[in-house]
């Protein structure tokens, strides 16, 4: 029970951050506000000791369920149509990750292996684990990954908003419309939906699929919706609650040790983030030119933001959440699978 009370305390802090961000009219206020509020709390040493595993599991499953509502009968045909663009984007992110790593290496005193792993646009846990396996310094890697993620989560909604207003012509509406006919009923359908979500999370996690706890519920709940020809939705209060919980979990990673690297690595972190930003924006511009996707979706597809965060950001920005998530899933899977080979070949 004490762990639950502590979580509610930091959730309240995150909620206050959300209220302040919404009052300031910041895009995606629930995520950004809660990250900064709880991150400052943690960096100052006042974040209570909490075991986040169970809370993190529930947030990831909820994220997958919310993403699954975008799936319809044209899902696999849609993947086939964008496959070539996804491969182009993935290759570009490999190049951007290597360029970011070398920028960190030349501007700091960390080893080349540490810089290359720290600059990769992959998952935080996976990159830190890989870095430790090749005897790289885990704390700078963690700092670089967290700094990049928080900066990307903060900047990309603004960039998407400003560019979306400046570029006329295409609207930010999802390309895939639901083919379901009726809404889920509260009596039975949502109970079955939650059971399907937990089954998907357990199955894909057991199969050791990266981000399986999100991807499993997404696919199974989406297929369930298609099979029974019904769709489901969640109120804004539910979405905001999940987003704040996600921000609280991210805020826990801003430990005093990580914050202690700020004075040593802040400059290379900023410059390398600009390199990553430039690379991702170049990819977004190419994607916009060669596809029929709207500019906001293109920007979010190529952003170095985590899968959990991009689901809610794309929803808030009115972008095509399913297409964005497909790009991000492929990015994370490819970086986790193939980037270590590139690093070991270089170092």
124-178 pLDDT, tens digit per residue, is: 767 877 887 888 888 888 888 888 888 888 888 888 888 877 776 554 444 444 4
Structure-token match 């170095």, residue found: 304
CB-neighbour burial class of residue 75 (10 A; exposed 0-12, middle 13-18, buried 19+):
middle
Mean of pLDDT values over 177-183: 53
204/213 Cα distance (integer angstroms): 6
Please count the CA atoms within 13 angstroms of the CA of 70 that sit on its side-chain side.
25
21-73 pLDDT tens trace: 889 888 788 888 898 899 888 888 888 888 888 888 888 888 888 878 777 77
266/274 Cα distance (integer angstroms): 12
100/230 Cα distance (integer angstroms): 45
* pLDDT exceeds cutoff 80 at 187: no
Which of these, 216, 191, 180, 246, lies nearest to 64 by C-alpha position?
216
72/223 Cα distance (integer angstroms): 8
311/225 Cα distance (integer angstroms): 18
262/268 Cα distance (integer angstroms): 10
**From the CB of residue 111, how many other CB atoms can be counted at a distance below 10 Å?**
17
Helix (H, G, I), strand (E, B) or coil at 230: strand
- List, in sequence order, the alpha helices (H) in the chain: 2-23, 29-43, 53-68, 75-107, 112-118, 124-133, 138-166, 189-206, 212-228, 236-251, 256-260, 262-290, 295-301, 307-317, 321-346
Q: Which pLDDT does position 178 carry in this prediction?
A: 45
Which of these, 322, 76, 324, lies nearest to 218 by C-alpha position?
322
Regarding predicted confidence, which is higher, 18 or 311? Answer: 18
Q: How does the average pLDDT of the chain come out, rounded?
A: 83
243/31 Cα distance (integer angstroms): 5
Regarding predicted confidence, which is higher, 78 or 107? Answer: 107
Regarding predicted confidence, which is higher, 15 or 222? Answer: 15
* pLDDT exceeds cutoff 80 at 74: no
Of the listed ranges 91-100, 171-180, 215-224, the one predicted with least confidence: 171-180
Helix (H, G, I), strand (E, B) or coil at 54: helix
204/15 Cα distance (integer angstroms): 31
156/187 Cα distance (integer angstroms): 39
Q: Which pLDDT does position 180 carry in this prediction?
A: 45
Angle at 65 between CA 62 and CA 71, to 5 degrees: 155
pTM to 2 decimals? 0.76
Query: In this structure, is the dihedral angle defined by the CA atoms of residues 84, 87, 91 and 92, taken in order, positive or negative?
Result: positive
Q: Where are the domains of the chain?
A: 71-232+256-346
58/180 Cα distance (integer angstroms): 26
Confidence of residue 181 (pLDDT cuts 50, 70, 90): low
Q: In the chain, how long is the greatest CA-to-CA distance?
A: 60
Q: Which pLDDT does position 174 carry in this prediction?
A: 46
User: Can you read off the two tokens belonging to residue 268?
Assistant: 């290379």
* pLDDT exceeds cutoff 60 at 265: yes
Mean of pLDDT values over 257-272: 84
Q: Which pLDDT does position 228 carry in this prediction?
A: 79
Q: Which pLDDT does position 172 carry in this prediction?
A: 45
* pLDDT exceeds cutoff 80 at 200: yes
Q: How far is CA 170 from CA 77, 161, 268, 307, in A?
A: 22, 14, 36, 25
CA 35 to chain centre: 13
276/166 Cα distance (integer angstroms): 22
166/319 Cα distance (integer angstroms): 16
Percent of the chain, pLDDT > 70? Answer: 93
Mean of pLDDT values over 10-21: 92
Q: Which pLDDT does position 336 carry in this prediction?
A: 78
User: Can you read off the two tokens belonging to residue 104?
Assistant: 């960190």
b/e sequence 134-146, b meaning 16+ C-beta within 10 Å: eebbbbbbbbbbb
Of the listed ranges 172-181, 264-273, 287-296, 332-341, the one predicted with least confidence: 172-181
């Amino acid at each position: 029970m004490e762990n639950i009370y502590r979580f509610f305390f930091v959730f309240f802090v995150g909620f206050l951050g959300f209220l302040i961000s919404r009052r300031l009219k910041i895009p995606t206020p629930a995520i950004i506000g809660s990250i900064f509020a709880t991150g400052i709390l943690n960096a100052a040493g006042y974040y209570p000791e909490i075991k986040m595993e169970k809370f993190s599991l529930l947030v990831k499953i909820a994220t997958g369920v919310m993403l699954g509502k975008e799936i319809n009968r044209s899902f696999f045909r849609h993947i086939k149509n964008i496959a070539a663009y996804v491969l182009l984007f993935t290759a570009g992110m490999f190049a951007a990750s290597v360029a970011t790593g070398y920028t960190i290496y030349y501007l700091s005193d960390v080893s080349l292996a540490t810089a290359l792993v720290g600059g990769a646009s992959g998952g935080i846990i996976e990159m830190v684990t890989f870095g430790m396996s090749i005897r790289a310094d885990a704390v700078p890697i963690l700092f670089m990954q967290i700094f990049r993620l928080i900066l990307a989560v903060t900047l990309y909604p603004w960039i998407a908003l400003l560019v979306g207003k400046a570029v006329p012509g295409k609207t930010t509406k999802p390309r895939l419309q639901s083919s379901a006919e009726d809404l889920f009923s509260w009596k039975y359908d949502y109970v079955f939906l939650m059971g399907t979500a937990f089954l998907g999370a357990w199955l894909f996690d057991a199969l050791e699929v990266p981000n399986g706890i999100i991807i499993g519920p997404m696919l199974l709940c989406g297929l369930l919706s298609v099979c029974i020809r019904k769709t489901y939705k969640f109120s804004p209060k539910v979405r905001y609650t999940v987003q704040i919980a996600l921000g609280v979990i991210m805020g826990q990673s801003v430990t005093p040790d990580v914050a202690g690297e700020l004075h040593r690595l802040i400059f290379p972190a900023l410059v390398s983030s600009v390199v990553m930003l430039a690379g991702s924006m170049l990819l977004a511009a190419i994607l916009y030119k060669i596809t029929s996707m709207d500019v906001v979706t293109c920007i979010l597809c190529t952003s170095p933001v985590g899968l959990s965060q991009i689901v809610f950001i794309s929803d808030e920005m009115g972008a095509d959440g399913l297409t964005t998530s497909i790009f991000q899933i492929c990015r994370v899977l490819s970086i986790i699978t193939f980037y270590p080979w590139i690093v070991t070949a270089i170092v």
